[in-house]
Chains A and B, each alone.
Chain A
Amino acid sequence: MIPELGHFALIMALVMALFQSSIPVIGAAKGIDSWIAMAKPIARLQLFFMLVSFAALVYAFVVHDFSVVYVANNSNTALPLIYRVSAVWGAHEGSLLLWALTLSMWTGAVTVFSRSIPKDMLARVIGVMGMVSVGFLLFMLLTSNPFDRLAIAPVEGRDLNPLLQDFGLAIHPPMLYMGYVGFSVAFAFAIAAMLGGKLDAAWARWSRPWTVIAWIFLTLGISLGSWWAYYELGWGGWWFWDPVENASFLPWLVGTALMHSLAVTEKRGTFKAWTVLLAIFAFSLSLLGTFLVRSGVLTSVHAFATDPGRGVFILIFLVVVIGGSLVLYAWRAPSIRSTAMFELFSRETALLFNNVILVVVAASILLGTLYPLLLDALGVGKISVGPPYFNSVFVPLTIPLAILLGFGSLMRWKQDKPARLVKELGLLFVISIVVGSLLPLLFSRYEFGAAIGLMLAIWITLSTLKGLRLRLANKDWSLQSLKSIPRSFYGMSIAHIGVAVFIVGITLTSIYSEEKDVRMEPGEQFVLNGYSFEFKGASSVPGPNYIAQKGHLTVSKDGQLVATMYPEKRVYRVQRNPMTEAAIDAGITRDLFIALGEPRGADGAWSLRLYVKPFIRWIWLGTIIMALGGLLAATDRRYRVAAKKSADKEATA
């Protein structure tokens, strides 16, 4: 009964989405006020039906309703409650449902925080989001219904993949989807503005906080995924350039470019056409990412052939969304005029270069991700593009970006003088080079790459602090004057410091990590990077729904005990798959990481993988700082004031 209710709610949501994508848009085009006024209530009704539908699926998981195919395939009576809930988005159908729910939640948020936006513009924005909703709901109802029933319900479910039975991965997809789908708001604003023919600074100001908030979620979502891969997969890596990861990184790169370009459009009224294009691309890549990961194309392009309905629908949907918006763009872009001029040496130019670099990076990653799929689909051959390609493209392109960051964030709008910049920053630049090139001497060996990474991090930090100092001008560092600086400036500065922290993390981890696979007998010692690992043996320990082999090691440095670590190898009872549960001793300057391999010989020996990973925590710390900066920027006074002003106006009118 409940699953049918969920199914019915899903159909009702589709009906609402159809209304939502037509009535307000037509109303706005023809100037019919009563139709325009329908936008908000319809969008909220759609959200209501989506919530009912989602709740129905959650309920089916909670009560073990194995008559629902999707539940039978992804759950089990022994699965703890929290993972039964997260199993809702553990596979294709449910994750689409989560996606569609997220979309209607963002739409709902737009209806609430939109008091400063003219009614017809808002109607168009909600209408465009409704169109995207129609696409997703149709896709689900036609090809991937999560509420499909089995004629005879099995007694027991096939359980959730043990890899997914983890808190990090339980919250990773919702975070990621909040980011992906959040870009639909920026996309809807761009399309709505083109439909209405009004692309002005106000448009940029409206969509800017939405874009930043979506970007925050995406940043945190990607970061969570990376952290999960690090501690759960047992390989000690934090980024593999896997197509699944690239699929989330692509919208992030373009979204970052969009955030910066929106700044120019808001403050200076230029880059309008380009900003619109970026908004289209950011959302298109989000769609592509969702489908790449969830359609099974990545495990095999032939998944398309086994289920042609899904594949064809996805292709048509992508073509309609991307093609449709580009056609609209081609039609409207010539009429978009930028009024403000700027000189070659100006902040605008710096931000343009930022955009170009980010887009080129995204394009090269897209090439490396899609080209093998394309070749395979055409039957030309099987190739794979490994991490060396991505590293050799990513690293050299981001170095100029980091240098530019320091200069660009201090440049003035419209026109600046090189002499001024050199005067303000020259000394700091030299300091960064000198200190950065000396710091690697503190490590086990001198590496040129480490020097470059540290130089960049110091340069970004110093120039950002200098920017803050210049903002204070003649004032002192008192709380009063610090308060006078707008929150968005702090946001930018903090996010840039986050970049610096992140660079330190990836540089030092990539260069100075030590890794060794060893065979150890009980009592044996192995020294890695100054840390002495002693293997005490392994024993069998039962867990709640698995049996574990538990290793026991002590790690000491210079005769002092540093950590006692217990890596495990678990075999889950239902799925019978072994899982490596690495032992990690986290620290701000280094992580110790041990993964248990397998028994080797009769004398109690085991194979073990040992790692010493310097500064790896800084990677995730950096992304958290970036997200924090984004949060400050998104809640800047001018967005709140604008919202309040028009609310007051509404109240007095």
Chain B
Amino acid sequence: MKPARKKRLFFIVFLVAGVTLAAGFAMYAFNQNLMFYFSPTDVKQGKAPVDKLFRMGGMVVEGTFKKEPKSLKVHFDLTDYEKTVSVEYEGILPDLFREGQGIISRGKLNAGGVFVAEEVLAKHDENYMPPEVAESLEKAKKKLDNKAKNNQQSGITETTK
């Protein structure tokens, strides 16, 4: 091989190897850091892993928000109107956090089935609903509607909220 050719070949091999390495590295980091989203129903059905970070969203159930008096710990329940999961968080809540508001939180499920949040997000205005939450609420609502329909057909009346 001519020296110029050899040089060019070396060059290309080096470049390709470098880019491949970087791409492989990026893919690895990508897989390590993917974070999944689960609704309270998913969590109650055992679809969410224990002691691994994931995101959960829903509505803060009215009347469940409690502050511990001498620390920054708070407790509240999160629901998609089908199932409800208890959440625990220590720290300062975002400005727009309040009962009846759709929120998303990131955290881990502990052995007792309580979601220990590391971060709580409540964004935008009071009309805003995180898209994930909106979708899981939609799903839960459909299920309830179907249930009500079936019940009506079988002659049992039931009021569902």
Interface residues of A (CB under 8 A from B): 161, 234, 299-302, 343-344, 349, 352, 356-357, 360, 363-364, 367-368, 371, 381-386, 388-389, 392-393, 396-397, 517-519, 569, 575-580, 595, 597-598, 600-601, 607-609
B13 at the interface (CB under 8 A from A): no
- Is the pair B92, A597 in contact by a Cβ cutoff of 8 Å? yes
Q: Contact between A576 and B126 (Cβ–Cβ < 8 Å)?
A: yes
Do A382 and B126 touch (CB < 8 A)? no
- The reply on B37 being an interface residue by CB < 8 A is yes
Name the distance in Å between B32's Cβ and chain A's nearest Cβ. 8
Asked if B18 and A389 sit within 8 Å, CB to CB, the answer is no
Main secondary structure of the interface of A (DSSP, over half): mixed
User: B125: CB under 8 A from chain A?
Assistant: yes
Are B30 and A368 within 8 A (Cβ)?
A: yes
Minimal Cβ-Cβ distance residue in B for A163: B124
Q: Are B69 and A518 in contact (CB under 8 A)?
A: no
Decide if A161 touches B30 in the complex (CB within 8 Å). no
B121 to chain A, nearest CB (A): 11
Asked if A385 meets B33 with Cβ closer than 8 Å, knowing A344-B10, A578-B95, the reply is: yes
Instruction: Say whether B33 contacts A609, CB under 8 Å.
Output: no
**Set of chain A residues within 8 Å of B37, measured between Cβ atoms:** 381-384
Determine the chain A residues whose CB is within 8 A of the CB of B55 once the complex forms.
Answer: 384
Q: List 30 A-B contacts (CB under 8 A).
A: A301-B131, A349-B11, A357-B22, A360-B19, A363-B26, A364-B23, A368-B30, A371-B30, A382-B132, A383-B36, A384-B34, A384-B37, A385-B30, A385-B34, A385-B35, A388-B29, A389-B30, A393-B25, A517-B72, A517-B91, A519-B70, A519-B71, A569-B95, A576-B126, A577-B95, A577-B126, A580-B95, A600-B69, A601-B70, A609-B91
- Most A C-beta atoms less than 10 A away, residue of B10, B15, B29: B29
Specify which chain A residues have a CB less than 8 angstroms from the CB of B29 in the assembled complex. Answer: 388-389, 392-393
Residues from chain B with a CB closer than 8 A to the CB of A609 are 91-92
Interface residue ranges of B104-161 to A (CB < 8 Å): 106, 125-126, 131-132, 134-135
**B53-83 CB contacts (< 8 Å) to partner A:** 55, 67, 69-72
- B90 at the A interface (CB under 8 A): yes
Q: Are B131 and A578 in contact (CB under 8 A)?
A: no
On whether the beta carbons of A517 and B92 are closer than 8 Å, the reply is yes
Q: Give A602's nearest chain B residue, CB to CB.
A: B69
A302 to B134: give the CA distance in the assembly, Å. Answer: 11
The reply to whether A360 and B22 contact each other, CB–CB distance below 8 Å, is: yes
B36 touches A381 (CB 8 A): yes
CA A562 to CA B106, docked complex, whole Å:
36
Q: Which residue of A lies closest to B6 (CB)?
A: A344
Interface positions of B from 1 to 43, Cβ below 8 Å from A: 7, 10-11, 15, 18-19, 22-23, 25-26, 29-30, 32-37
CA distance A357 to B35 in the complex (A): 26
How near does chain A come to B67, taking the closest CB pair, in angstroms? 7
Give Cα A601 to B67, complex, Å. Answer: 9
For A518, the closest partner residue in chain B by CB is B72
Chain B residues whose C-beta falls within 8 Å of the C-beta of A577 in the assembled complex: 95-96, 125-126
Q: Are A595 and B92 in contact (CB under 8 A)?
A: yes
Distance in angstroms from B154 CB to nearest chain A CB is 32
State the CA gap A349–B7 with chains docked (Å).
Answer: 12
Q: Tell me, in angstroms, the Cα distance from A510 to B90 when the chains sit together.
A: 22
Give the residues in chain A near B90, CB-CB below 8 Å: 517
Measured between beta carbons, the chain A residues less than 8 angstroms from B19 are 356, 360
CA distance A385 to B29 in the complex (A): 10
Partner of B36 from the list A301, A344, A360, A382 (CB cut-off 8 Å) is: A382
Q: Across the interface, name the chain A residue whose C-beta is closest to B35.
A: A384
How distant is A522 from chain B, measured CB to nearest CB, in Å?
A: 15
Write out the residue numbers on chain B whose beta carbons fall within 8 Å of the beta carbon of A389: 29-30, 32-34
Which A residues touch B15, using CB under 8 A? 352, 356
With A344-B11, A360-B19, A519-B70: A383-B92 Cβ-Cβ less than 8 Å:
no
B127 CB to closest chain A CB, in angstroms? 11
B34 touches A344 (CB 8 A): no
Known: A518-B72, A579-B95, A580-B95. 8 other contacts (CB 8 A): A349-B11, A371-B30, A382-B37, A386-B35, A393-B29, A578-B96, A601-B69, A609-B91
- Among B71, B92, B106, B134, the residue within 8 A (CB) of A598 is B92
CB distance from A585 to the nearest CB of B (A): 19
A355 to chain B, nearest CB (A): 11
Complex: A396 Cα to B22 Cα, angstroms? 9
By a CB distance below 8 angstroms, the chain B residues around A579 are: 95
Q: From the candidates B26, B67, B70, B72, name the one contacting A393 in the complex (CB within 8 A).
A: B26
B31 CB to nearest chain A CB (Å): 9
A517 to B71, CA, bound (A): 10
Q: What is the CB-to-nearest-CB distance from B128 to chain A, in angstroms, rounded to a whole number?
A: 8
Residue of A nearest to B106 (CB): A386
A301–B25 Cα distance when bound, in Å, is 28
> Which 3 pairs across A and B sit closest by C-beta, in order of nearness?
A300-B131, A389-B33, A382-B37
Residue from the set B22, B23, B69, B95 with the largest chain A CB neighbour count within 10 Å: B95
Report how far A389 CA is from B29 CA in the complex, Å: 6
Q: Output the residue of B10, B19, B30, B135 with the most chain A CB within 10 A.
A: B30
Residue of B whose beta carbon sits closest to that of A341:
B4
**Residues in chain B near residue A578, CB distance under 8 A:** 95-96
Whether A396 contacts B7 by the Cβ 8 Å rule is no
Considering the chains assembled together, what is the distance between the CA atoms of A393 and B22 in angstroms? 8
A607 in complex: contacting residue of B35, B92, B134, CB < 8 Å? B92
Residues of B within 8 A of A388 (CB): 29, 32-33
A357 and B18 alpha carbons, distance in the complex (Å): 9
Cα(A559)–Cα(B126), bound, Å = 45
Chain B residue with the shortest CB-CB distance to A384: B35
**Chain B residues whose C-beta falls within 8 Å of the C-beta of A397 in the assembled complex:** 22
Chain A, Cβ-Cβ closest to B69: A601
**Chain B residue with the shortest CB-CB distance to A371:** B30
Expressed in whole angstroms, the Cα–Cα distance for A367 and B10 within the complex equals 29
Q: Is the CB of A396 within 8 A of B25?
A: yes
Q: Give the CA-CA distance A511 to B91 in the complex, in Å.
A: 21
B-side contacts of A368, CB under 8 Å: 30
- What is the bound-complex CA distance between A569 and B96, given in angstroms? 12
Given the complex of chains A and B, what is the CA–CA distance between A597 and B72 in angstroms?
10
Cβ–Cβ < 8 Å partners of A607 in chain B: 72, 92
A579 to B33, CA, bound (A): 31
State whether A383 touches B34 (Cβ < 8 A). Answer: yes
Complexed CA–CA distance, A598 and B97 (Å): 11
Kindly name the residue among A357, A579, A598 whose own CB sees the greatest number of chain B CB atoms within 10 A. A598
Q: Which residue of A lies closest to B34 (CB)?
A: A383
Q: How far is the CA of A575 from the CA of B7 in the complex (A)?
A: 66
Complex Cα spacing A652 to B4, Å: 49
Find chain B residues with CB under 8 A from A367 CB.
26, 30
Determine the distance from Cα of A423 to Cα of B86 in the docked complex, in whole angstroms: 66
Chain B nearest Cβ from A466, distance in angstroms:
27
Contact with B23, one of A360, A384, A517, A600 (Cβ below 8 angstroms): A360
Q: Which residues of B contact A600 (CB under 8 A)?
A: 67, 69, 72
Q: For A360, list chain B residues within 8 Å (CB).
A: 19, 22-23, 26
Chain A hits for B67, CB < 8 A: 600
With both beta carbons as reference points, the residue of chain B lying nearest to A300 in the complex is identified as: B131
- State the CA gap A352–B15 with chains docked (Å): 10
| B131-A299 in contact (CB<8A) | yes
Q: Output the least CB separation between B91 and chain A (Å).
A: 4
Residues of A within 8 A of B35 (CB): 383-386
Most A-side CB within 10 Å, residue of B25, B33, B106, B135: B33
